[in-house]
Amino acid sequence: MEVLTKKLASRTSLQTEMMIDIVIPVFNEGDCIESLLCDVITAKQHEWFQIQRIYVISDASTDRTDDIVRRVATRDHRIELITKQERKGKQDSINLALSVTSADVVVFIDADIRIADEYTLGKLLGHFRDHETVLVQGGLVRVRPGFTLHPAKLGAYFDWIVVDKIRRRKAISWWSIDGRVMALSRDFYRHLTLPCSLADDQFIFYSCIRQGRKFVFADDATFYYGLPESLADFSHQWSRYFFYTRKSRQYFGEQFMVEDMRTPGLWQTIMSCLARHPLCGLMWLAGYALSRVEFTLRLDFDRYESGFFWTKSSPLGIPAEPISATGRP
């Protein structure tokens, strides 16, 4: 009887429809937003989940972003543009989204992301079917830079190689978390309010671990993201990361960051990757050193404190073939 009850409960669970909201925070993403919206619109839905709303939250964009979203919205009634009259940062956009959604799961996607194929969202959302998972991170793949001597592109690609290897060793650490694609269950997000002075991904992921909730790194749900346009942009991203990590240490406690969020074998991993990718590694070291200088000089700390950390995005095409059999180098 107990086995039969479990089977019936499982069958009922499989037939239950999961309502999904997609949220795309944007600031001057006119070159990228249409491609991502098309990816979301064409995503294959299953009988167990349905995308009910696609919110684009514009942080007082001054380019053509809002007009593009309105035009695409005429083709799909699920798209809703929310515009802010005053720029307040990404954390504020996330808080706004959490205040308007009531979905079973809300998926946050950065505007410069491309979705690998029509089945990717289903792979991401499938992890919530166990009714225990509350946070899922997408499997982010940085596109190859190709034949180039561009220092930022080579350095950023090396950065992804290192992070990807670390993430496979430990899914959440202070080095490996990434908020470009993250899905949150209602049971988890309804209790969240992001502070402006903490990075959105660090606050969300660390809160999940501190609460003892279940996190999943969905490496089979592939999302592509691009490369920075300049070494200054690349180093700026790292300086910003140092700033928010220091803030997280103050907010969550030194012991939590050092023990629970530690990165095992960090420098051994970096050195082994450097031996395999020496040119990319040298460019990464140059950008990393520059970012340490920026951080020491406290450049743009006032902007980071207010949550202003958007970077310029360029259009990204989906690779015609996977980077490798697993999407990794």
**Short-list 294, 180, 173, CA closest to 237:** 294
Phi-psi map region of 265: left, alpha, beta (phi>0 left; psi -120 to 50 alpha): left
CATH number at residue 52: 3.90.550.10
- pTM (whole model) above 0.75: yes
Under 8 Å between Cβ of 187 and 105: no
Q: What's the domain count of the chain?
A: 1
**219 part of a folded domain:** yes
Residue 8: the pLDDT is 40
For position 7, what pLDDT does the model report?
44
With a cut of 90, say whether residue 15 has pLDDT above it.
no
Kindly state whether residue 143 falls inside one of the protein's structural domains. Answer: yes
Q: Which residues of 77-115 are buried (b: 16+ CB within 10 A; e: fewer)?
A: eebebbebeebbbbbbbbbbbbeebebbbbbbbbbbbbb
Amino acid at 173: S
The boundaries of the domain holding residue 32 are 9-305
pLDDT tens across 107-127, in order? 999 999 999 999 999 999 999
Residue 167 maps to a domain = yes
Residue 210 forms part of a structural domain: yes
For the chain, the average pLDDT equals: 90
**Residue 267 belongs to some domain of the structure:** yes
311 found inside a domain: no
Residue at 313 is within a domain: no
> What sign for the dihedral angle of Cα 51, 207, 84, 242?
negative
Whether 4 is in a domain gets the answer no
Beta strands in 73-132 (DSSP E): 79-83, 105-109, 114-115
Among positive and negative, which fits the CA dihedral 328, 311, 74, 82?
positive
Q: Which two tokens stand for residue 30?
A: 């006119």
